[in-house]
Structure 1
Amino acid sequence: MQPRLGDLALHIARVSLCASGVGLAVRIESATLAAAFEGALFFASFALMHDVAHGALRLPRKANELALAFSAALMLMSGHALRLMHLRHHARPLAPDDAEGAPARLPLPRALLDAPLGALALRVEALRAAGPSGRRCQLAETALNLASLALLLASRRPALLAVAATATCLQLTMAVWAAHVPHNAPAWMLAAARRLAFTRSPIALSLGYHERHHRIPNLPCSRLALPSPDRT
């Protein structure tokens, strides 16, 4: 099968634009702009990582592995850990052993309260569940995450501290916005997300068409709203 170059180009453009915004914000020392663009970069990187984790872009294996590691590194996360837990979620959605989906089974206040510790527990579970090769990848990626965070904090520059804080906050609340909300979204929220599908926003598409994603996980996020999605 041929790589889905159009979908890949869309991801690259989105990530590059957001990264450029972060760079500009750091250059002019605007912590507010840095936080805003870092938030956009986090979600753009998440969308890329998600498509790569499912092999939806049809990249060659080595390129797919590199894209997985790179996209997650932009979020200060381990791509191989995220993929392992996410594919388990798709295999048995909301089952007792679905650690990623566990927040969806909780009331929203409890999911918010448990989210930070849940983020750490998810990394530990991914490391435990991985084979030797996967464990080495996860450890290397985690070491890179910690080194990147340490460099951001050591800079003591407000804009870079805002980047670190934003990425950390989004990571520690991922259980809510990536797990609880998509599986418990009220009808009005789904309708609003679908009305915004024309923007090709990965947030709107992933929320509005979450059930379709579970039915066709190898379909790129940008194609979820298509009337006749490609099932191959």
Structure 2
Amino acid sequence: MTHTEVLKKVEWRDLRNLSLKEMLIENNLTIPWFLISVTLAYFEYYWLALPFSAFFFLTGLRQVHNGFHNALGTNRFLTWFTLYSNSILMLVSIHAVKFNHLRHHKHCLSDEDYEGKSARMTWYGAILYGPVHMFLIHKVTWQLGDRSYRRNMLLELASAALFTTVAVYFNIHFLLYHIAIMIIGEFLMAFFAVWTVHHDTHDHPELARTQRAGWKNRITFSMFYHLEHHLFPAVPTIKLPELARRIDEALPEMEKKSTF
């Protein structure tokens, strides 16, 4: 079944619209996790802070991912600010990630898909590839991105470097903890954000892996509804559970490979 045929069989356009409550959730989901994690780190409860830092990183990915596809329900400036501010807190140029992610959708798992390269690797190879993945994301953006992408990338990297310099110079221990955890998270992106949802799908790249277990989707903030996202990238994450239900109802015969 082709992507066009799926689009015809599943009603999805109404899911692009966010209510005020949904918009507030999508745009503020990271705040409590960040505040709790740095507060615990401030009092040197680092082990207790770890899960909250992980949830901040995960919700940050969800937030910027929606921003990539203009699915936050906000205007152009606020969407840009979401990407910029998360670049500082997550220690990476989110606009560089956006550039490669949109290419990933256009050239999924082909030679032109630099984001998707780790999908061809073993699971441990994807983990080891993590630092190279992050370097390549920025290199490709600089080489292939337009002036706007390069300008945003430089601004975000400079701002993240300033944030890191201040934390190191003044030895702000809870920020140093946060920076260390974010770097680890970024180095695991090739595994968690690419390999888990795309490995062994090269025969049908448009049919990414997905997750149907309710409790697993709750603890991962619906970020593993990846089949649904690739088929309907304009649908905000908060609406993916409903989209999954509609796909299952309209296309029960569609193969749905699980992520974990």
Q: TM-score range by the shorter chain?
A: 0.7 to 0.9
Aligned to 2:241: 225
SS at match of 1:77: coil
* CA distance in structure 1 between the aligned counterparts of 2:21 and 2:100, rounded to whole angstroms: 27
* Structure 1 unmatched ranges of 5 or more: none
**TM-score for both structures, normalised by structure 2:** 0.77
SS at match of 1:224: helix
CA deviation profile, 1:142-176 (whole Å, cap 9, x unmatched) = 11112222233334354333211110000011100
Aligned to 1:147: 162
**TM-score for both structures, normalised by structure 1:** 0.85
CA deviation profile, 1:116-160 (whole Å, cap 9, x unmatched) = 122111111112211112211110101111222223333435433
* CA distance in structure 1 between the aligned counterparts of 2:18 and 2:221, rounded to whole angstroms: 24
Aligned to 2:120: 105
2:185 is aligned with 1:170: yes
Q: Which is worse superposed, 24-33 or 99-108?
A: 24-33
Q: Which is worse superposed, 152-161 or 38-47?
A: 152-161
Contact 2:53 2:181 in 1 (8 A): yes
User: What amino acid does structure 1 have at the position aligned with 2:22?
Assistant: D
Aligned to 1:91: 106
Aligned to 1:212: 228
Contact 2:104 2:115 in 1 (8 A): yes
Aligned to 2:90: 75
* CA distance in structure 2 between the aligned counterparts of 1:211 and 1:87, rounded to whole angstroms: 16
- Aligned equivalent of 1:28, options 43, 46, 49: 43
Aligned to 1:16: 31
Contact 1:8 1:57 in 2 (8 A): yes
* CA distance in structure 2 between the aligned counterparts of 1:215 and 1:129, rounded to whole angstroms: 25
Aligned to 2:213: 194
Give the C-alpha shift of residue 185 in structure 1: 8.3
User: What amino acid does structure 2 have at the position aligned with 1:210?
Assistant: H
Aligned residue-pair number: 223
Q: Which is worse superposed, 210-219 or 26-35?
A: 26-35
* CA distance in structure 1 between the aligned counterparts of 2:64 and 2:19, rounded to whole angstroms: 15
* Structure 2 unmatched ranges of 5 or more: 1-15, 202-208, 248-260
Map 1:46-57; keep pairs closer than 5 Å: 46-57=61-72
Q: Indicate the RMSD between aligned Cα atoms, in angstroms.
A: 2.5
* CA distance in structure 1 between the aligned counterparts of 2:134 and 2:69, rounded to whole angstroms: 21
Give the C-alpha shift of residue 26 in structure 1: 3.5
Choose between structure 1 and 2: higher helix proportion: 1
